[in-house]
Structure 1
Amino acid sequence: MSNQDRGYLLTEQANPHSHNLDQLSALEIAELFNQEDTKAVEAVGNEKEAIAQAIDLIAAAIAKGGRLFYIGAGTSGRLGVLDAAECPPTFCSDPELIQGILAGGMNAMVRSSEALEDREEDGAAIIIDKNISDRDVVFGITAGGTTPYVHGALKAARQRGAKTIFFCCVPPEQFPLQYDIEIRPLVGAEILAGSTRLKAGTATKLVLNTISTGVMVQLGKVYGNRMIDVSVTNSKLEDRAIRIIRDLTSISREEAAELLEQSGRRVKLALLMHWKNLDVNTAEQILKDNGENLARVSLN
């Protein structure tokens, strides 16, 4: 696969709207990027049904004790690592729950190691190293659809019974696949030919934002549109936690701060304690009985 001509791929085409890119002013470049970026948003919108299926699949797997693994190389892999890294501070989730795997490891986050993407056997090996099982979901990300490292991982994951999701920005006729769910936002040719960190990268980030947030919503990490499982680890997050409590209870800032401390700095627990006039231990048990989902607890 590594030696084949990939010039036919949509992500490798030359964009007719940027044929004179090297002659444009800074303002013209900014305008052109803005126009092209709207295509990434539209392309992601066209994949909403597949994205929704992915949310349901991942949430169900995690609810049953499974994990989600993003896997990719280069920009695709870095975006997966980024999304995984952002979940614990945003949703107070276990770092083991959603993990990002990057060809070349963490050193490849800041130093190019694109040659490693051609090693299908390395992708397969990491699946074994992570002890991936039939409870887990493996989410392969590759803009052009061809990365051997990703396919090696997905094939190995399927052999071990894991569910597989595949993201790429090329149509099925250019690279047909057979994974459980495929998400294919067709963003078109890049402004800089073949530089898939641009629109393809934008589409990747949009999709991962939607999926990880949607999964956390379904797992009860959100109440209304508030991050009620926010990890209170610094002054900014403490202020955010207090404001969330105030907004949902209408109590004073001082009362909200005291309630937050009484709950062990757990917003979800603080809210339930206030709404039900409960002590911390009773509130904890009620949450546990309702799958840690505050929306399932009757507040009337």
Structure 2
Amino acid sequence: MSKPTILTMLLSLCLVSISLPTFAASRLGVEASPQSRDFVENRQQFQLHSLLTEQRHPRTRDLSEAIGADTAAGLAALLSVDEDVARTLDEVAGDPARMAQLRKASQAVQAALRDGHRIYFYGTGSTGRLAETLESGLWRPFWTRAAQSPAWPRIARGLPDIGERVRGEITGGDRALISSLEGFEDLPLIGELQLQDNGIGPQDVVFAVTEGGETSAVIGTALAAAAQSAGGDRVWFVYNNPDDLLLPFDRSRRVLQDPRIQKLALPTGPQAIAGSTRMQATTTSLYVLGVVLEDAIGRLLGEHLSPADMQALGFSASATLESRLRDFAPIQRQAAAAVQRLATWTDHEARAYAGGRHATYLARQALMPVFVDVTERAPTFRLAPLDRTDAPQRRSWIQVWTPTEDPADAWQALLQRPFRGLEPQRYRDAFERSIDDPYLRATALRSLEQAGSDQQGLYDLAVSPRNLALNGPQAGDLGVLVLCGEDELSPLQVAWLEAYAAAGAELVVFSVGNGPLPSPVLGTLSALPRPVPLVAVTVPWRDPLGLNRTIALKMLLNAHSSGVMAKLGRVVGNTMTAVQPGNLKLVGRATYLVQSHVNAVLAGAAWRERHGPTEPLSYAEANAVLFEAIGQRGELGGTAQAAEVELSVVAILEGLARQYPLSWPDAAAILDRQGLNGYLREYRD
């Protein structure tokens, strides 16, 4: 018997014995199920469509149409939304009260590190990858470079073991970097358990980071840290929605009104793709926390090193927290200026996937931002996650490699430390003892089986003989070499380029560096059989942690991958209609997407001219249909890739237009022929 999915668990979870009025669904031919009634009436805490991060940004509202007609124009619209981040950071830099908070955060980090304590960054999903980027993409590489400097003996004496004092953790442990583990995000308990598992104590500093400001696991971390804190400024809650929109939610209110917890509110507005907080929300938090970390390191090292030593390590004597926040704007402009070159790459990758081919990214210095962007595509656009080594067939469209032949060395290159999973027994006992809901308990226990340190061996990120044999280049594939300030290519990078060129695959080189590519790199590229498109962005390395380049890479990768998916129909307008409602929060998001897309059509002149005025769809009606779609989707044969949101929108509109109950096979057939973008096009005014 197959194991139940999170969707079937949700259906069972919401079954309750309640007495409610019959939902008005007769015009749709769907009667609200008990689980739908329960969600609408009793799960308001997961109906988050009021949040600012869930709204549609006006600059990208018609993205799917715009990018289909002009790739560069669509990408320009996506990148323009990062101007909101620049504006927010400039406002923070000019606000004495908010700057006082950032200085307080830097001072807390300094005090903890000076006294031999630790800094703990924790998040779920995108913010979990942010947390691991701070440790593995910024902090550890800096100390590796510092260890090669003449100043290192003084650093080691004054700040012993400093490189091991920052920990970035994602809900579910390092395995969750690949894909989220079902049942964990909605458990405050796991945030508390991971805090304990990492040995975070009362004197350590904790940054609990959540884009929405309502993630249960992150809130569990903040509250557990506050309960054990020694006082002062040890616990920080970092989020991207205004307080007034979060206070109606019980779990958010518990944190926001807790005087033991310091708050860093960083709202920037709607995302370029509505609800896709991997974009501007995470960019904002990553940059601000990176600047705080940089400031704290600089002040600590300044107690032990000369100005010349500091300059050699990349620190500027004139840099302040305010000036570093304002540095974001020129980085954003440099990234946006690459839009024409970026469009060539976006077209190449979209064409490869449309033709049933695959993409492989090869990165060394840029490995962490590349890995993060690639793995975040799966939940955002309903793609298969990275393939395991024991997979019977290839399902993922994309893979990420780094130039080493040893899979264990590849993980070390990504994490800059050993792989860490969740020790099963510690968590199993707590789950069985403390999770009251039987379905949430079963889901969490099942996910725990996939969270241990043994998971490292199931994913190969190396240019290994196995990967080359099974997943090597084929004609029509795409190879993307990503460079970050590299002056020369390793023999494995050169061999990889030559193998892709010889196989008839397309190639693209994406580079972020101080200036033009060095002559040795250009020489290697010019020796290939065909010219290779080059996307080169200049971001001078004036910062010790490499934060500027990391942010430029992130913004460009986010725009590119979102653009590819929009060209392939995985985005409608600027909404994630391919979202899979795999937890209660996503059921709420999917319901709102169904309602908003249907009502946009019903309010339009094209619909009214054909069918006359039609009463708008209610949230309850949208949810009733969505739950029906969840139950129907597995029965629709050839429409295995059709998303529940898309099926629901088409079925509702067709039912209302034809004046008979909605038909799932009809809706699926329409999606097979036209896709949701094509179907909605006939109703656009």
TM-score, normalised by the number of residues in structure 2: 0.32
Cα 1:112–1:125 change in 2 (3 A) is: closer
- Which residue in the other structure is 2:242 paired with? 171
- The Cα offsets for residues 187-241 of structure 1, whole Å up to 9 and x where unpaired, read as 1101211000111121122112202211111110774443179xxxxxxx9x9xx
Q: Give the Å deviation of 1:113.
A: 2.9
- Which residue in the other structure is 1:40 paired with? 85
SS in 2 for 1:47: helix
- Which residue in the other structure is 1:8 paired with? 50
SS in 2 for 1:8: coil
Q: Does structure 1 conserve the Cα–Cα contact (< 8 Å) formed by 2:229 and 2:235? A: no
- The Cα offsets for residues 23-44 of structure 1, whole Å up to 9 and x where unpaired, read as 1121112211232101112213
- 1:26 partnered with 2:106: no
Q: Does structure 2 conserve the Cα–Cα contact (< 8 Å) formed by 1:73 and 1:117? A: yes
For 1:146-225, list aligned pairs within 5 A: 146-161=214-229, 163-176=234-247, 177=256, 178=258, 180-220=261-301, 223-225=309-311
- The Cα offsets for residues 235-268 of structure 1, whole Å up to 9 and x where unpaired, read as xx9x9xxxxxxxxxxxxxxxxxxxxxxxxxxxxx
Q: Give the Å deviation of 1:15.
A: 1.4
Say how many residue pairs are matched.
232
- Which residue in the other structure is 1:53 paired with? 104
- Which residue in the other structure is 1:227 paired with? 313
**Cα distance in 2, alignment partners of residues 115 and 19 from structure 1:** 32
Aligned-residue sequence identity (percent) comes to 26
**Cα distance in 2, alignment partners of residues 164 and 46 from structure 1:** 24
Q: Does structure 2 conserve the Cα–Cα contact (< 8 Å) formed by 1:134 and 1:160? A: yes
TM-score, normalised by the number of residues in structure 1: 0.71
**Cα distance in 1, alignment partners of residues 182 and 133 from structure 2:** 18
What are structure 1's unaligned runs of at least 5 residues? Answer: 230-236, 240-300
Q: Does structure 2 conserve the Cα–Cα contact (< 8 Å) formed by 1:68 and 1:136? A: yes
- The Cα offsets for residues 126-162 of structure 1, whole Å up to 9 and x where unpaired, read as 2222232221011011000001101101111111115
**Cα distance in 2, alignment partners of residues 62 and 13 from structure 1:** 39
- Computing the radius of gyration over CA atoms, which structure comes out larger, 1 or 2? 2
Q: Give the Å deviation of 1:3.
A: 5.0
- Which residue in the other structure is 1:144 paired with? 212
Moved over 6 A (4+): none
Q: Does structure 2 conserve the Cα–Cα contact (< 8 Å) formed by 1:132 and 1:160? A: no
Cα 1:211–1:12 change in 2 (3 A) is: same
- The Cα offsets for residues 273-299 of structure 1, whole Å up to 9 and x where unpaired, read as xxxxxxxxxxxxxxxxxxxxxxxxxxx
- Which residue in the other structure is 1:276 paired with? none
2:142 maps to which of 90, 98, 108: 90
What are structure 2's unaligned runs of at least 5 residues? Answer: 1-42, 94-98, 145-160, 248-255, 316-484, 488-685
Q: Does structure 1 conserve the Cα–Cα contact (< 8 Å) formed by 2:51 and 2:245? A: yes
Which 10-residue stretch deviates more, 161-170 or 189-198? 161-170
**Cα distance in 2, alignment partners of residues 115 and 42 from structure 1:** 36
Which 10-residue stretch deviates more, 176-185 or 148-157? 176-185
SS in 2 for 1:104: coil
- Which residue in the other structure is 2:197 paired with? 129
Q: Does structure 2 conserve the Cα–Cα contact (< 8 Å) formed by 1:9 and 1:174? A: yes
Give the counterpart letter for 1:215 in structure 2: A
**Cα distance in 2, alignment partners of residues 228 and 12 from structure 1:** 38
Q: Superposition RMSD on alpha carbons, in Å? A: 2.6
SS in 1 for 2:199: coil
Q: Give the Å deviation of 1:164.
A: 0.7
SS in 1 for 2:169: strand
